[in-house]
């Protein structure tokens, strides 16, 4: 079964636009789980422009499914994750000032760095996933870091899907197959939507989890959160 982890960063973005605590990110997480989400994802950044570090602490107290914290492993991020101890930490290579994640790790060039960071988290019993581009070589080098899983960066798939979906998904199939051969779990995320999720799900071997935020929260503006979560779950059948 492929799990749906809802990224609630955009809920926090709306809240922060006015200050205060509306909409409430903790309530949003509770509702996502109530409606069937099997995980909650957050991506805290040092400038706290969406998810705040205190949000992460508050969410840890109430999330009953899988809690996934993603981000660049700067000292502040590492300290937060080690304090909270989520189910999974997903490491992304973008610097803290980046607007959004837009590339996977070069797992060969950053191997020594990643080996140390991965070990730090695994020593605390936290499952580790590395955000990678759909390249067999990057998957192979990811294995050498000691990571448990990879998360395939799916923006290129989402962009190319309307033009040629078979061509768009081909490198992802190859990367996922290599990960399975090597014993790595496979997650995926970035720009997956109701338009392209089902085709991705049906064609990627061993897909364990998808993390979806921007499209899902945007759809919820029209469909409502409960109906939106249900529709995304239906794409994973």
User: What total number of domains does the chain contain?
Assistant: 1
Compute the residue count for the chain. 237
pLDDT of res. 103: 84
What integer pLDDT is reported at residue 232 of this predicted model?
A: 98
**Would you state the pLDDT for residue 101?**
62
Residue matched to tokens 């509702």:
31
Kindly name the residue from 33, 43, 151, 209 that is annotated as catalytic: 43
| pLDDT score of 131 | 98
Active site residue 190: yes
DSSP-based helix, strand, coil % in the chain, nearest 5: 45, 15, 35
| Cβ-proximal residues to 9 (8 Å cutoff; 6+ apart), any chain | 42, 43, 50, 51, 213
> Choosing from 33, 70, 151, 178, which is the catalytic residue?
70
Chain CA centroid to CA 95, Å: 16
Secondary structure class of 91 (helix, strand, coil): strand
Say whether the peptide bond before residue 23 is cis (omega within 30 degrees of 0): yes
What is the mean pLDDT of each successive set of 10 residues along the chain, which is 237 residues long? Answer: 97 95 98 98 94 98 98 96 98 74 89 98 98 98 98 98 98 98 98 98 96 98 98 97
Sequence-distant (6+) residues with CB within 8 A of 65 are: 33, 37, 38, 39, 40
DSSP H or E segment with residue 69: strand 66-71
Domain span at 219: 3-235
3-state secondary structure at position 147: coil
Please name every residue paired with 41 in a beta bridge, in sequence order, or none if there are none: 7, 68
- Whole-model pTM: value is 0.95
Catalytic, out of 141, 151, 178, 190: 190
In the three-class reduction of DSSP (H, G, I as helix; E, B as strand; rest coil), residue 178 is classed as helix
Residue 99 confidence (pLDDT)? 58
Helix H or strand E encompassing 198:
helix 197-203
Q: Quote the pLDDT of residue 100.
A: 60
> Active site includes 43?
yes
Structure tokens at 14: 């709306």
Strand 207-212 vs strand 3-7: parallel, antiparallel, or unpaired?
parallel
The answer to whether 211 and 187 have CB atoms below 8 angstroms apart is yes
Distance separating alpha carbons of residues 102 and 79, to the nearest angstrom = 24
In this prediction, residue 25 carries a pLDDT of: 98
Per-residue DSSP letter, 100: S
In this structure, what CATH number is given to the domain that contains residue 58?
Answer: 3.20.20.70
pLDDT for the residue numbered 108: 97
Q: Check if the beta carbon of residue 217 is closer than 8 Å to that of residue 23.
A: no
Burial of 70 (0-12, 13-18, 19+ CB in 10 A): buried
Cα–Cα nearest to 58, from 74, 45, 69:
69
């Amino acid at each position: 079964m492929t799990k749906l982890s809802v990224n609630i960063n955009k809920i926090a973005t709306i809240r922060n636009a006015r200050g205060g605590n509306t909409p409430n990110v903790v309530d949003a997480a509770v509702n996502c789980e109530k409606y069937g989400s099997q995980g909650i994802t957050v991506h805290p950044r040092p400038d706290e422009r969406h998810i705040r570090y205190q949000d992460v602490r508050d969410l840890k107290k109430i999330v009953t499914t899988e809690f996934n914290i993603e981000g660049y492993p700067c000292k502040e991020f590492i300290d937060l994750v080690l304090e909270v101890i989520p189910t999974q930490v997903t490491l992304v290579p973008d610097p803290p000032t980046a607007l959004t994640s837009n590339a996977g790790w070069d797992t060969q060039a950053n191997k020594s760095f990643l080996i140390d960071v991965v070990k730090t988290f695994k020593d605390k019993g936290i499952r580790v996933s590395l955000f990678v581009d759909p390249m067999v070589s990057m998957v192979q080098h990811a294995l050498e870091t000691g990571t448990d899983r990879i998360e395939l960066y799916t923006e290129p798939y989402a962009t190319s899907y309307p033009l040629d979906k078979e061509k768009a998904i081909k490198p992802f199939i190859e990367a996922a197959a290599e990960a399975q051969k090597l014993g790595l779990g496979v997650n995926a995320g970035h720009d997956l939507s109701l338009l392209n999720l089902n085709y991705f799900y049906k064609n990627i071997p061993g897909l364990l989890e998808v993390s979806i935020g921007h499209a899902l929260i945007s759809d919820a503006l029209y469909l409502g959160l409960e109906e939106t979560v249900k529709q995304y779950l239906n794409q994973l059948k």
